[in-house]
Structure 1
Amino acid sequence: MSKQTLQLHSTILSIHSLDVDADIPAALLTLPLFFISKTHDEVSVVCPSNFEIDSLDTEPNWQALEVIGPLGFSLTGIMANISGVLARAKISIFSISTYDTDYILVKKQTVPLAITALKKDGYNVVVE
């Protein structure tokens, strides 16, 4: 059985940590790709690195591998398998799930190694 296809997005992303009461810039909502999550303790924003946000901390230089979906909610083990492949290759990830699919962010400098590891494990990886 073939494994999922992942698409590497060319956009370089940054992960921002904001105070729980921070305002989200309205211009962020016009970007073609961004993610916002909020807990009782913080707000996290993932967006293109060239978009400036006043944040408490920033982790730059990530690229997204999108699991081509949509993925049904009954599917199991997708993120576990992909993250396992990358963990065995000693690649750190930041994962994001949406209603339709999953995104695995890897540091820009580890992209070639990540693609090699995923392909070796049977994943199809296409570059945007």
Structure 2
Amino acid sequence: MTEQQFTIEQYPEQLAVVRLGPGAPIPAWAESSSIFSVTATAAETSVVCAARNVPKKVPHERSFTAFAVVGPLDFALTGVLVSLLTPLAEEEISVFTLSTYDTDWILVPKERAEKAAEAWRRRGHTVAPAVPA
């Protein structure tokens, strides 16, 4: 089986993953970001937003670089994340992933971003700077 090749865009803004309490309102500081995601469960609310905006007292991890698979991706595609995460696992690069309707996002620690891009290129994927919308 031939592995599918993807184009991956790298975003310049440094991101944070923030932990808020269950049912917490989304703070205004979280919304001024080029990439903004909220996932809420009964146990917590997680926010991905610009690292520069996160108050130091709020539980969070930073700095992440975001990569997005150029989409939209067909919902019938299988193995997209496996093909993109396997090279990172082999390089021992940790990830935080999220998906939207159109595509998959992979956040990697800022200091490992170039190593991640190199690992994908070795597998035949294209990595390029994100094109502003």
In the superposition, the TM-score normalised over structure 2's length comes to 0.88
- Contact kept in structure 2, 1:19 and 1:56, CA below 8 Å: no
Instruction: Tell me which residue corresponds to 1:32.
Output: 34
Q: Deviations over 1:87-106 (max 9, x none)?
A: 01111000010000000000
Identical pairs, percent? 34
Q: What's the CA shift for 1:27? A: 5.1
**Residue identity matched to 2:8:** L
Q: Which residue of 2 aligns with 1:58?
A: 60
1:123 partnered with 2:122 = no
Match of 1:74 in 2: 76
Q: Does 1:45 align with 2:47?
A: yes
Partner of 1:5: 7
Say if 2:9 and 2:70, in contact at 8 Å, map to a contact too. yes
Query: What runs of 5+ residues in structure 2 fail to find an aligned partner?
Result: none
Show CA shifts across 1:55-79 (max 9, x none): 7521001000100000010011001
Segments of 4+ in structure 1 off by > 2 A?
A: 26-32, 52-56
- For structure 1, which segment, 48-57 or 10-19, has the greater mean C-alpha deviation from structure 2 after superposition? 48-57
8 Å Cα contact 2:30/2:54 also seen in 1: no
SS in 2 for 1:70: coil
Q: TM-score, normalised by structure 1?
A: 0.92
